[in-house]
Structure formats: C-alpha cells, structure tokens
Amino acid sequence: MIILPAIDLKEGKVVRLEQGDFNKETVYSSDPIKTALQFENKGASWLHIVDLDGASEGESRNFDIIKKIRNKTGLSIQTGGGIRSINDVEKLIEAGIDRVILGTLAVKNPEILSDIIEKFGSDKILVSIDAHDGKVATSGWKETSNLKVLEFAKMLEQKGVKYILYTDIKRDGMLVGPDFKGLKELKQNTELKIIASGGISSINEIEKLNDLNFYGVITGQAIYKNKIDLKAAIKKVGDQDS
C-alpha cells in the first residue's frame, strides 16, 4: 500500500482545513516545496496535492507552485482542485504530474470524463469521491449532489476509471479515524483501486487499511500534528505501488 502525505495549498501556503471548512484553517508552512522535500526525505514515494483555491473557485490558482514541487522533487505526484476541462488535465500532465484528480467534473460532466480517460488513459486519472451523509459532494465540498456514493463508484468503473479516492468529509481533518464501513462497501462491490482519506489518526489505522488490501492512504493532519511518524509508517507497510 502506498502512503501519500498531503499538501493542501491555499494562497501559496500549506494549510489544513477541518471538515473542508475554509473558515477552519490552520497554516502549517509558507514553503510548500520545503514541505514536499521533507516528505521525500522521510521515504515517501507519492505526494497528494490539493489546490484548495482551485477547488473553491473552479480554476487552478497554485499551478506554478505545483510545477515547482514537480521539478524539485523525485516524488510521484497526484493533484486536483479546479480541474474542469480536458485542457486543464492536459496542462498538468504536460507539467509532469503523474495522476490528475477529478471531482466536480466527474459528477457534473461524466461525458467529458469518458473523453479524458480515452485520451490520457486510466492510469493518469483518479476520481475523488467526497462523501457527505452517503451522498457525493462537489465544488470544494460546498455542494452536495443526489448521487449515492456506491452508485457513483459503479458508474465510474463502467466508464473505465481505475483509481478512486474516498473521503468522508465529516472526518477530514478531525483525527477520528477513516470511514471503514464506507471503504469496505466500496471495496466489496467494485474492482477499483481505492485510496482512503479523511480522519486518519494513527499508524494502527494505516496498518489496518494495509491488511484490508487497500491501494493507498492519504494522511495530512496526523503528520502535521505529529500523531503519525511518516517515516515509521512507511517502514511498517512498505509503501508499495501496485
């Protein structure tokens, strides 16, 4: 299982939000590149970057910083936030991004999702399923659709999606543990490679996800608050991309 430390960018700074609330923000660093290098030095092979400004406003606001992180580290990078078109995806892939995260676009324009997968391949695309009371949220978590999580996941699988990221919004940034029930339901009913996110608070939870054979796990708040030693966690699970 791969462990992806998270960098959430807002106005060029590394921040964490509680439950996706932009009014509950903690700034952890004004130097995202330094933060990424620290993660790499601790043994991370992948990095998860979210452009919060982009997610909220519908267009990328931190592209230059993301590109600098790409150029100054050897990390594999997945990133999302504000990606609303094929051109947005192409721009990131041309900049060297390994996997582009789609959220709102996949919900509101599923026909474009099919075109994107056809053009770039399923290995380059990850769809983020952000859950709020069992429904899929969009637009930086400010809107909730009528789509049920499992129904949406099955639709994605039919369209050729290979990777998904599942986040329980109520748990995100709260250090209360991931939504094991929701994660297991997705795993039992699809063949998707699932990355777990939201609420990760301990190495024990990471080990449990690894034992359940999940593809990956994202951890942010727990690292920044020293609840999880990233180097020790990677050593525990091996950080294998399969």
**What six digits make up the tokens of 33?**
């590149």
According to DSSP, residue 109 is labeled: -
Helix (H, G, I), strand (E, B) or coil at 218: strand
Helix (H, G, I), strand (E, B) or coil at 42: coil
Distance CA 29, CA 175 (A): 20
Residue 115's nearest CA partner among 51, 161, 162 is: 161
- Are 159 and 113 in contact by the 8 Å Cβ rule? The answer is yes
What radius of gyration do the chain's Cα atoms show?
16
Instruction: Give, for 29, the enclosing helix (H) or strand (E).
Output: strand 21-29
Annotated catalytic residues are 8, 130
Please give the pLDDT value at position 140. 54
Please give the pLDDT value at position 55. 81
Please give the pLDDT value at position 139. 62
Tell me the fold of 2-237.
TIM Barrel (3.20.20)
Residue 202's nearest CA partner among 187, 184, 217, 182 is: 217
Please give the pLDDT value at position 134. 80
The pTM of the full predicted model, rounded to 2 decimals, is 0.93
**Would you give per-residue pLDDT tens digits along the chain (242 residues)?**
999 999 999 999 999 887 667 777 899 999 999 999 999 999 999 999 999 998 888 777 899 999 999 999 999 999 999 898 999 999 999 999 999 999 888 988 999 999 999 999 999 999 999 888 888 987 655 667 789 999 999 999 999 999 999 998 888 777 899 999 999 999 999 999 999 999 999 999 999 999 999 999 999 999 999 999 999 999 999 777 76
The domains of the chain are located at: 2-237
Q: Is 48 left (phi over 0), alpha (psi -120 to 50) or beta?
A: beta
